[in-house]
Chains A and B, each alone.
Chain A
């Protein structure tokens, strides 16, 4: 694609605080999207189309094509309107009204038919048929983008499930729908339910599903910004999924309607980098034989982690930086990349600083691939957020570790505790005394409401000091005399 001026759309988006990626990502769009299956293909394409000023045309066109193959009319309209906003003159930017009409009718027909069938099954009272009916309906709604209806249909299956594996199947469907709905908490619930089930009675697919469950659970934690839990889930993902053939839809191991093994490696690796100490990284990530299978798919993540573990922070950070554009175009990672990168960076700075009592800004800047003003800003932010226990010396341009005099610190703390104790005890004693003397504040009849400002004491109070003090135009209650 020829380099051209950035469409206005992205300038506006950036101003509105959305993420816009200018750098060309390392990925090849076609190869990338071929790894996925189902709704997520479209969602991913649309995200790339709306946030990459480099790939948008290609991605949006692909998204439109993708939508047209499906049955979700809304999706198609969204994609077209996005394209129209960015590049109004493109041929694909005008909606294909014929197709829309046709598809709408077709979808409605299919929906009606299924609802009717389900009704029939219900009359026959055959549990299995009813279950299948709901299952079909759920699938159908999911395909046409009616996610909440889909969720409802799947949920209604519960009463008609006769075996454990039925319940597991139902919950797996629900997880997928919830992930598409971005209701992470609900998805997490369904994961727990399946796990609880397999605990007391093994069902045949337990082993097979475990990888998918870990992946889904990790994803929900990550989406809720619980990076440590997410890392742990991803790291314990059963390695069997790493061998799936992504282009083969018949491969039951694959979970590429949600994420690919490569994603597991990236998500897991980044979450671990952001939330674990060096020892933990070595033990739980690099020495983890199960997760190694995934890491082999994304060798640069592995490299970044081993650099971090061996304290080569700048190398680690430069790897992460070089892949930043790719990660920013990932549907689940996009929102979390700034935070994840911040955590990795600040952890690196913390670790770097441990052996020193003071470091010059220039040394820090070189170690972390940046210049002095930037590192100064970064350090001051870290200190403010409480991530770094140190102070900046802007005169000598060094970062100073905090010297703590433990003895006097303890004294000061003891004193503060004692004062606090005295204060609280005194207040309680007074309160008790007041109650014992019958001096609770009672509402006076008819006048007691504070809100109306007519409380009796209010009257006397204002009459008491307020008037008196405001006499000379300079009133005491105002505290103006305190100046």
Chain B
């Protein structure tokens, strides 16, 4: 044991050398270290140090991340071995000392070193999640996993299996707001199957700085389990449901759309069907009418959705017609009652109730398209469930204005609610209008967002161009084009230096 400790702490050097180690040096050393730790049996790691004390008390997780992580896992797994195989130690549960160590570790591990122990980190995350769920305390696992995800990948733009685990925990714990730090980051990449050779030559060292997290979170890094389509579908569906819980309809719609438009080989998945149903309802809640399906969707999938979800599509039609023709909500309620057999098994009853509520809201908003001003009595006659309930209507309208649904003002010349006057404002005035300044800010913000999106697109483009299939195709295309040009000339002369030649059309032609 005495010999072990210096070895474990041998890298990174402490105190830090004045001149930082180069990336390749760092890479070499840390790979050695990983190899070494892997040879140490778990029993040795948990046996403690001579003179009393645990390795975990001695090692600083922010400096010697790897040994700490291995020891921690050895503790968690080790005590399990003593009881019954397969289960996790009882000493590891929310509130225990070991749990505290895990929390500490998740907050403090070194972002560079952890990349060399992706599989181990994922094991820790999984164990934490399982343990918390088993004792019915899912909320306990949320903060450590959240910080682990965000610390490994600050932009959280590459999808990992841990994302799904995290979203599920948040949903189970109903900790919707706690989920937002992760969910609010857009996912842009999935650990891709790329041309490893090419990739490695460009980013040889895991420890170096990467522009995009998608270059170090790869299928080989272990930071994500082997992904299946279910993982990402569930993540986005869970995410959408979390946003629905917070009534952030816009974001929920985006998440649902991602599920709906996921590429399908033959039949759509049941998760997607569930997402489609919720999508129909949420689009009613957000816009007041059914939206068009994303254009990227294949015709076949569109057909399948419509065929399976007729009840939902029908409800949406009734809703839209009702708003346009200024009907009362009776037809919608009848439709919703008739479809009870569909909503209940899909667990959508709550959304349906909200859709019915939203009908009245959108009816009032719709009035603004036709009218500039009208009395509460008029509004009650046109939109309220009880046309003579002026006081209730007045309160409802005030509620809509104060929650920012309605860009309008209300004047109360007398105490009689029937005589109150609602004035719809146009876009340039009224409580919801934006000043020039605000509009400018919004535009700036949007520009920034698109710029960052462009970065990701460039990255994805680069990755695709390294794809073996792509290169093969590109070569083939080039060849046929050339053969066409040269009348089937022998390809020999240009193939000889075609290594990067197919990127430079002009030069190549000049050589010929």
Name A residues whose Cβ lies closer than 8 Å to a Cβ of B. Answer: 380, 383-384, 391-396, 400, 402-405, 407-409, 411-412, 414-415, 418-419, 421-443, 448-451, 453, 455, 457-458, 460-461, 464-466, 468-470, 475-483
Given contacts A395-B375, A409-B427, A427-B257, contact A439 B370 (CB under 8 A): no
- CB-defined A-B contacts under 8 Å, sample of 19: A383-B370, A392-B370, A394-B371, A412-B427, A415-B439, A415-B443, A415-B446, A425-B453, A427-B258, A431-B261, A437-B227, A439-B228, A439-B232, A440-B229, A448-B267, A455-B267, A477-B346, A479-B351, A482-B244
- Cα distance A469–B464 when bound, in Å? 40
Given A427-B257, A428-B296, the answer on whether A439 and B227 have CB atoms closer than 8 Å is: yes
**B460-A457 in contact (CB<8A):** no
Q: Which residues of A contact B265 (CB under 8 A)?
A: 440-443
Closest residue of chain A to B343 (Cβ to Cβ) is A478
A433 touches B460 (CB 8 A): yes
What is the bound-complex CA distance between A395 and B409, given in angstroms? Answer: 14
- Bound-state CA distance A458–B440 (Å) is 46
Q: Are B187 and A430 in contact (CB under 8 A)?
A: yes
A431 to B349, CA, bound (A): 31
A450 & B273 in contact (Cβ 8 Å cutoff): yes
CA distance A284 to B491 in the complex (A): 68
Interchain CB contact under 8 A, B372 and A391: yes
- Contact (A455, B269) CB under 8 Å given A418-B443, A483-B353: yes
Contacts of B258 in A (CB 8 A): 427, 430
Contact between chains at A422 and B375 (CB < 8 Å)? no
* A465 with B373: CB separation less than 8 A: no
In the bound complex, do residue B347 and residue A478 qualify as a contact, i.e. CB atoms below 8 Å apart? yes
Contact call A391/B229, Cβ cutoff below 8 A: no
Task: Give A425 to B455 CA distance when docked, in angstroms.
Answer: 12
Choose from B194, B270, B423 the contact partner of A458 (Cβ within 8 Å): B270
Cβ-based interface call for B421 (8 A): yes
Query: In residues 239-259 of chain B, which contact A (Cβ within 8 Å)?
Result: 241, 244-245, 247, 254, 257-258
Closest to A383 in B: B370
Known contacts A450-B270, A450-B304, A478-B348: does B421 contact A426 (CB below 8 Å)? no
Q: Which of B187, B350, B351, B449 has the largest number of chain A CB atoms within 10 A?
A: B350
A296 to B308: give the CA distance in the assembly, Å: 62
Kindly list chain A residues whose C-beta atoms are within 8 Å of the C-beta of B440.
Answer: 411
Closest to B469 in A: A436
Q: CA of A425 to CA of B295 in the docked complex: distance in angstroms?
A: 11
- In whole angstroms, how far apart are the Cα atoms of A407 and B447 in the complex? 18
Q: A391-B372, A408-B434 are in contact. List 14 more A-B contacts (CB 8 A).
A: A380-B370, A393-B374, A400-B372, A403-B428, A424-B295, A432-B460, A434-B262, A436-B192, A439-B190, A441-B269, A450-B308, A457-B270, A465-B172, A482-B247
The verdict on A483 contacting B350 (CB below 8 Å), with A441-B272, A449-B267 known, is: yes
Contact with A along B291-318 (1 / 0, CB 8 A): 0001110000000100110000000000
Beta-carbon contact of A479 and B439 below 8 Å: no
Whether the pair A480, B350 counts as a contact (CB closer than 8 A) is yes
Select one of B193, B257, B350 contacting A479, CB under 8 A. B350
- Nearest neighbor of A392 in chain B, beta-carbon distance: B371
Contact (Cβ within 8 A) A453 B354: no
Contact A430 B188 (CB under 8 A): yes
Tell me the B435-471 residues at the A interface (CB within 8 Å): 436, 439-440, 442-443, 446-447, 449-450, 453, 456-457, 460, 463-464, 467
Report B234 CB to chain A, min CB distance, Å. Answer: 7
**B28 close to A (CB within 8 Å):** no
> Known contacts A433-B189, A482-B350: does B266 contact A442 (CB below 8 Å)?
yes
- Inter-subunit contact B269/A450 (CB<8 Å): yes
Q: Residue B439 contacts which of A411, A429, A480 (CB distance < 8 angstroms)?
A: A411
List, in ascending order, chain A residues with CB within 8 A of B369's CB. Answer: 383-384, 391
Q: List, in ascending order, chain A residues with CB within 8 A of B304's CB.
A: 450
Main SS at interface, chain B: helix
Q: Which one of A380, A391, A458, A461 contacts B424 once the chains associate, using CB atoms below 8 Å?
A: A391
> Residue on A with the closest CB to B379?
A394
**Contacting residue for B270 out of A380, A455, A477, CB 8 A:** A455
- Hey, which bits of chain B sit against chain A, CB under 8 A? 168, 171-172, 174, 186-194, 227-230, 232-234, 238, 241, 244-245, 247, 254, 257-258, 261-274, 294-296, 304, 307-308, 324, 346-351, 353-354, 368-375, 378, 421, 423-424, 426-428, 433-434, 436, 439-440, 442-443, 446-447, 449-450, 453, 456-457, 460, 463-464, 467
Chain B residue nearest to A421 (CB atoms) is B450
Complexed CA–CA distance, A451 and B270 (Å): 9
A358's closest neighbor in chain B, by CB? B372
Q: Is A466 touching B347 in the complex (CB atoms < 8 A)?
A: yes
Q: How long is the Cα–Cα vector from A279 to B217 in the complex, in angstroms?
A: 69
Contacts of B245 in A (CB 8 A): 476, 479, 481-482
Q: From the candidates A465, A469, A479, name the one contacting B348 in the complex (CB within 8 A).
A: A479
Top 7 A-B residue pairs of the complex, sorted by shortest distance between their CB atoms: A479-B350, A477-B347, A458-B270, A480-B350, A437-B190, A391-B372, A405-B428
Closest beta carbon of chain A to B464's beta carbon, Å: 6
Q: Are A393 and B373 in contact, CB atoms less than 8 angstroms apart?
A: yes
Main SS class of interface, A: helix
CA distance A448 to B268 in the complex (A): 9
Which residue among B263, B353, B354, B457 has the maximum number of chain A CB atoms within 10 Å of its CB? B263
- CB-based contact A451/B371 at 8 Å: no
Complex contact A451–B308 (CB within 8 A): yes
Evaluate contact between B270 and A453: CB separation under 8 angstroms: yes
Cβ contacts under 8 Å, A425 to chain B: 450, 453, 457
Q: How far is the CB of A433 from chain B (nearest CB, A)?
A: 4
Nearest Cβ on chain B to A296's Cβ, whole angstroms = 43
Most buried by B among A435, A458, A478, A479: A479
Contact A479 B296 (CB under 8 A): no
By beta carbon, the residue of chain B nearest A458 is B270
B229 touches A442 (CB 8 A): yes
CB distance from A377 to the nearest CB of B (A): 11
CB distance from A383 to the nearest CB of B (A): 5
* Alpha-carbon gap, A120 to B69, bound state (A): 105
Task: Tell me which residues across on chain A come within 8 A of B234, comparing CB atoms.
Answer: 461, 464
Report Cα–Cα, A475/B344, bound state, in Å. Answer: 11
B262 surroundings in chain A (CB, below 8 A):
431, 434, 439-441
Measured in the bound complex, the distance between the Cα atoms of B315 and A408 in whole Å is 36
From the candidates A380, A436, A466, A475, name the one contacting B463 in the complex (CB within 8 A): A436
Residues of A within 8 A of B467 (CB): 436
User: Distance in Å from the Cβ of B484 to the closest Cβ of chain A?
Assistant: 29
A470→B345 CA distance, assembly (Å): 11
Minimum C-beta distance from B384 to chain A (A): 16
- Chain B residues, CB < 8 A from A482: 244-245, 247, 350-351, 354
- Most A CB contacts (10 A, CB to CB) among B254, B346, B460 go to B460
B188 touches A457 (CB 8 A): no
What CA separation (Å) do A433 and B351 show in the bound complex? 31
With a CB–CB cut-off of 8 A, which chain A residues contact B350?
478-483
Of the residues A394, A418, A437, contact of B192 by C-beta under 8 Å: A437
C-alpha spacing A422/B453, complex, angstroms: 7
In whole angstroms, what is the CA distance A440 to B228 when docked? 9
Contact A457 B230, beta carbon cutoff 8 Å = yes
Residue of B nearest to A411 (CB): B439
Q: Which residue of B lies closest to A410 (CB)?
A: B439
Contacts of A465 in B (CB 8 A): 168, 171-172, 238
Q: State whether B374 touches A443 (Cβ < 8 A).
A: no
